[in-house]
A and B are shown apart, each in its own frame.
Chain A
Amino acid sequence: MGSNSDSKGEGGGGAPGGVSRRSFLQGMGLAVGVATVPLGLRESSAAPGAVSGIGPGPARLRLKINGAEKIVDVEPRLTLNDVLRDELDLTGTKLVCGRGACGACTVMVDGESVCSCMMLAVDARGKEITTVEGLAGSDGTLDPVQAAFIEFDGQQCGFCTPGMVVRARAFLNEHPEPTREDVQHGLSGNICRCGTYDGVIAAVLSAAGKEASKA
């Protein structure tokens, strides 16, 4: 693994002042990464005309995540999910099945719902990535979908919730006035082991209604 930097100076969600288990583990990873990163990382955007090839060692990727440019030096085998969680500390996006079958890792890529576990980080270059951390306003105002999930208890253990919320946001962008059946079909790629689907559907329908009445 390698280091990461942030061109806008906005850090991840680490525990301020203390050493969390996560930051400790990441610190360990960083130490190993520094020792193994070869001199002169190859930029993945090579000179025009040349076919760029990267790997197996780290390559520098510029990614646009929640409106901010992020620069990471990572092995090209890493998925977008790996980079979000392990490099950028955006751990709202979960990893569950690792094979595109559960939706817990859902993010938006150029507005479309995508399983981040099945997209290489290399492929995300030049695209607008939105994670669950990017839904609330900069002043902390929750997205109507997030507020509705709270109001309608759209979660139980909560592990599928970030993926559900991101998919619900993208779904309402696609279907501003959905029926219950639309919601069921539109969120069918997100699995909840606790079975809290009724709360999820009620939340999405409520958010849709509130957005429609404002429009």
Chain B
Amino acid sequence: MEILIPKTLDEALALMAERGGELTPIAGGTDVLVSWHSREHESLKLLDLSRLGAELGSIRFSDEHLHLGALSTYWQAIDNAQVREEFPLLVAAAKEVGAIQIQTRGTWAGNIGNGSPAADGVPALLACDAVVVLSSKSETVEAPLHEFWTGYKQTVRQSDQLIVEIKVPRRDRDFQHWHKVGSRAAQAITKVGVAMAHDAEGWRIAANSVAPYVVRCRAVEKALDEGRKFGRPEDLEELLAADVAPIDDIRSTGEFRRKVLARIIYFGLAEPSIKPLADVGA
């Protein structure tokens, strides 16, 4: 195994331009190093991003966006008072990624780049209309998060590109809900998870562990945008058939996931897990 250790983003992008196809970027390591002792002898070539904290490690706000640097962790978001106030949905999701030992190391960008359908940081980002900023040696481009994956662990990231930032629009969101179902409350990989948000641009419903990658539930969003009310969860199940394709695997079954997904959305609409700001302390 080899490790390349760039000290600046420019150096990292030069390496990606030369040999990006053979490099695996590593930040917190909470995906790359899972069961490492069974894989450490593979001829992996890692691009260690750990020295780029000054350029990629911060969380900041601009007029329009929250900017999550590519090396920023869930813990940094949880620990940031302004993020807690403006993006409670992101913080609620961050608190359920693994446990604290994972939250201190796992990065928002790594969760996106790895492309796991069970990624817990991703539904909340999708529900908040996040945008992925990708840089190569020659240019920086943006991709809406909902267009980032093209299949199971397949993404639009080119071999010479690195994710450098996640941008999340600052909006008034009058509805936010996050609910994760796992085998236990902490340290469990999600069987079904849902993030929901509503703002002036409409409804956003995003679910993990129910498709080859984390998906938006477009048919449900459209129905809600049209003002449809759901009298029973079964009506949502019908609509969701077009949105998700859950499978049987070691953690759950497709049937369980379909039924639970419909019920999380149904009961979430009635009683969101995140209270609107006006209700807090009332």
Contact = CB atoms under 8 A, between A and B. Distances in A.
A202 interface: no
A7 interface: no
B169 interface: no
Given A76-B1, A118-B105, A119-B105, A188 B34 contact: no
A76 B36 CA distance: 13
Contacts of B40: 77-78
Contacts, number: 107
A102 B2 CA distance: 28
B33 interface: yes
B186 A188 contact: yes
Interface stretch (B95-103, B216-224, B234-242, B250-258): B95-103
Nearest to B39: A77
Interface stretch (B3-11, B55-63, B136-144, B271-279): B3-11
B233 interface: no
A169 to B, nearest CB: 13
A120 B98 contact: no
Contact of A56 (B2, B6, B35, B101): B2
A11 interface: no
A51 interface: yes
A204 B6 CA distance: 41
A98 B4 CA distance: 24
Interface string A87-125: 000000000001111110010010011110111101100
A158 interface: no
Contacts of A76: 1-3
B101 A106 contact: yes
B36 A98 contact: yes
Given A53-B2, A188-B187, A100 B98 contact: yes
Nearest to A118: B33
Interface string B39-79: 01100001010100000000000000000000000010000
Contact of B104 (A77, A114, A185): A114
A97 B160 CA distance: 34
B34 A99 contact: yes
A171 B99 CA distance: 12
B50 A123 contact: yes
A120 B2 contact: no
Given A79-B33, A120-B33, A122-B48, A100 B101 contact: yes
Contacts of A52: 4-5, 7
Nearest to B104: A112
B37 interface: yes
Contacts of B155: none
A44 interface: yes
Contacts of A27: none
Given A118-B30, A122-B48, A44 B5 contact: yes
A78 B4 CA distance: 15
7 contacts: A51-B5, A51-B6, A77-B40, A100-B34, A101-B187, A113-B100, A189-B102
5 cross-chain pairs, A with B, having the tightest CB-CB distances, nearest first: A189-B99, A188-B186, A55-B2, A112-B104, A118-B33
Interface of A: 44, 51-56, 75-79, 98-103, 106, 109, 112-115, 117-120, 122-123, 167, 171, 185-186, 188-191
Given A76-B2, A120-B46, A123-B50, 19 more contacts: A51-B11, A51-B15, A53-B3, A54-B2, A79-B33, A99-B34, A100-B98, A100-B102, A103-B101, A109-B104, A112-B75, A117-B36, A118-B29, A118-B36, A120-B48, A122-B50, A167-B100, A167-B101, A188-B100
